[in-house]
Structure 1
Amino acid sequence: MDRSKKEALVAELREAFETSNLVVVTSQSGMTVSEVSDLRQKMRDAGASYKVTKNTLAKLALKGTKFEHLDEVFTGPTAIAFSQDPVAAAKVVTDYRKTNEKVTIVAGGLDGSGLDAAQVDALAKLPSLDQLRAKLIGVIQAPATKVAGVLQAPGAQLARVFSAYANSN
């Protein structure tokens, strides 16, 4: 790989580190190209990305970012999962690991804080940002639905009384 390609890759990685809220560093020893492609597709579907990279280039890209503390975990065959959603990348890697034992979580970072593999697993069990938004909307809409039901109840009861009176005569 020539110098200009390396510089472009470092710049791309630096941008990913700066714009992401979650970074998961994985070890993916022995994965085939089709397995990596499958994992990348699942990441894209979840709004995340997965990149296999050289450790030296990743370490260069980490300098000066909020994930600089991950520098020491880049040893051996590693790949990086990024997402702006604080749980998306962790969920996909954790779910994929259930079917493919070649992927292991080495470490992670959430908004600059370091995470070990167990913490990444715990993060993956949390609901995603979209799921939390849906729950919040449901909670907000519930009182309005109940108010509408309460307001309709007297009118419905009155209509049943009139119907019963009309049918009895």
Structure 2
Amino acid sequence: MNKQILAQKEADVNALIQQMKDAKSVVVVEYRGLTVGEVTELRRALREEGVSMKVYKNTYAQRAAKELGYDEIIDTLVGPNALTFGADQVAPARVLAKFAKTHDKLILKNGIVDGAVVDNATIQTLASLPNKEGMLAKFASCLNAPVIKFAMTVKALAEAKEGTNTEAAPAAE
């Protein structure tokens, strides 16, 4: 084989390895049977969440997975697969699971989240979590709850104290 072709293939695998290292989560999906319009719709939904999707040759993906020590996903890299790469752990799973509910031809296989190989069940669990902003909002409300309760208690005590003083004042006159 031509040395230039081999060098290009090696560069492609190295680029995939780097992309897998940089992503917080990678989800492997099978898209067999989806129309071009459906794949375009899926890519648009993923892009809105900051997730990229790319189709690689299975041999490239297998070599990259082996190089990174993710041997558990090598067996699932058969057939028409796409890899999605997310900057956060939840976004790819959430968007893909939502899309798969209305398009049963999209099959979520497995993935890598924070350096650990996860199965389909874990991806479905991740999909049920809110996005980063939603999680931060829930966290902030948890932090605010005790402060709000304290403020309401102080206000109630102040009102109760004022109520006893105003009733007693007219009686003294």
TM-score range for the pair, normalised by the shorter chain length: 0.7 to 0.9
Identity of aligned residues (%): 33
The one-character-per-residue Cα deviations of 1:4-35 (angstroms, maximum 9, x if unpaired) are: 76555434322221012322111101222221
Distance 1:147 1:30, change over 3 A: same
**Which structure has the larger Rg?**
2
Deviations 1:85-142 (A, max 9, x none): 2222111111101111221112222233322223322332234443332222111111
For 1:151, which of 137, 149, 154 is the aligned residue?
154
- SS of structure 2 residue aligned to 1:53: coil
Matches within 5 A, 1:19-98: 19-65=22-68, 67-98=70-101
TM-score (norm 1): 0.80
Specify whether residues 154 and 38 from structure 1 end up closer, same or farther in structure 2 by C-alpha distance, changes over 3 A only.
Answer: same
1:17 equivalent in alignment to 2:20: yes
Distance 1:121 1:103 in 2: 13
Displacement after TM superposition at 1:160 (Å): 4.9
| Distance (whole Å) between structure 1 residues aligned to residue 14 and residue 156 of structure 2 | 63
- 1:62-107: per-residue Cα shift (whole Å, max 9, x none)? 3432545322221110001222322221111111011112211122
Gaps in structure 1 of 5+ consecutive residues? none
What's the TM-score, normalizing by structure 2? Answer: 0.78
Deviations 1:34-60 (A, max 9, x none): 211211121122232221222122223
Match of 1:119 in 2: 122
